[in-house]
Amino acid sequence: RLGTTWIYTTNGIISSKDRWIQPTCTTNPTIGQGMFGTITRGTTNVLPFHPAILPFLIRARLDPIRHFNGIKVDRQLITALAERWGKETHCFNFREGEATITLKDVAILTHLPIDDKPVCASDHPPEDRDGMPGWVHFIHSVLGVKVPVKGSVDATDRLPPMRKHQVSITWLTKYFRDHYETHPLTEESPEDEKERYARVYLIGMIGGVFFSKKSSNLLSCGWLRIILGSWEEMEEFSWASACLAYIYHNLCNASLKSAREVSGTMFIVQFWAWEHMP
């Protein structure tokens, strides 16, 4: 996906060629025979929340997300709902009729903003600098850590932390978790240290909880342009709209016949069901 630009909207995910990225969705007859084996939700891939970073989260209008890490998801409930999801209408098909999650639902349940710009970024790599690949240099310039790539002397793992246009959330979180165990963050810490902690925290929450993939480990580098960019630009995004689009996208994937796992913000789907279903 070199150079792909993606946009989260309330009707789907649009590629740089303005094609709707929607999977071929049919009701999955095998879902009722068993629960999803995995429902992704991040816990260990996120730094602990620290009150010192709250001003940065408020600045980005993302302060509500601190309440949503480690939520237990009911696999039986999500499996039953995915079985009733229809691609054509983006609705759950119940005996009594159709129902769906709306932008208003997401805004009320998460308190995330619904106004301003769609969440949009490109994973096209920056130019290589100082002998480092573009994304490695970009991360190093903001977070001060050099992420190992394949073939580098630091890449001891079979799968290196930096893989093409994705970075390992697990590796980044562990690196900074170890760092802050020996150099704890406090209210008296320098502002740049608080800011760095806030950015790593957001990498874990956005990539491992709200917009997680099935592995809950890899983050598209396109997200880094947003999370490691300016706070002024980050506060202009419609985060609730992005969440709703990602919910639709993952429910469509979950309704495929071959689906055995589901990712994304399924805890929002669960909250919605608790509020609207008797």
Residues 79-113: pLDDT tens digits?
A: 889 989 998 899 999 988 999 999 999 999 999 99
- For residue 35, what pLDDT is reported? 52
Q: Name the least confident of 76-80, 184-188, 209-213, 215-219.
A: 215-219
How many angstroms separate the CA atoms of 12 and 143, rounded? 32
Residues 214-267: pLDDT tens digits?
A: 766 888 888 999 999 999 999 999 999 999 999 999 999 888 777 777 878 899
With a pLDDT cut of 90, the percent of the chain lying above it is 46
pLDDT at 14 over 50: no
Residues 105-140: pLDDT tens digits?
A: 999 999 999 998 999 878 777 777 776 778 888 898
- For residue 182, what pLDDT is reported? 93
- For residue 198, what pLDDT is reported? 97
- Nearest to 65, CA basis, from 196, 274, 211: 211
- For residue 265, what pLDDT is reported? 87
pLDDT at 34 over 90: no
Residue 200: pLDDT band by 50, 70, 90 thresholds? very high
pLDDT at 152 over 60: no
- For residue 13, what pLDDT is reported? 42
- For residues 56 and 234, the answer to whether their CB atoms sit within 8 Å is no
| Cα dihedral across residues 244, 248, 254, 255: positive or negative | positive
Average pLDDT in the chain: 80
Residue 113, φ and ψ in degrees, nearest 5 = -70, 145
74 CB-near residues (< 8 Å, 6+ apart): 270
pLDDT at 67 over 50: yes
Show me where the domains of the chain are located: 5-125+165-276
Q: Name the least confident of 10-24, 183-197, 256-270.
A: 10-24
Whole-structure pTM value: 0.81
State how far the alpha carbon of 205 is from the alpha carbons of 47, 55, 70, 250, in Å. Answer: 9, 16, 10, 17
End-to-end CA distance of the chain, in Å? 43
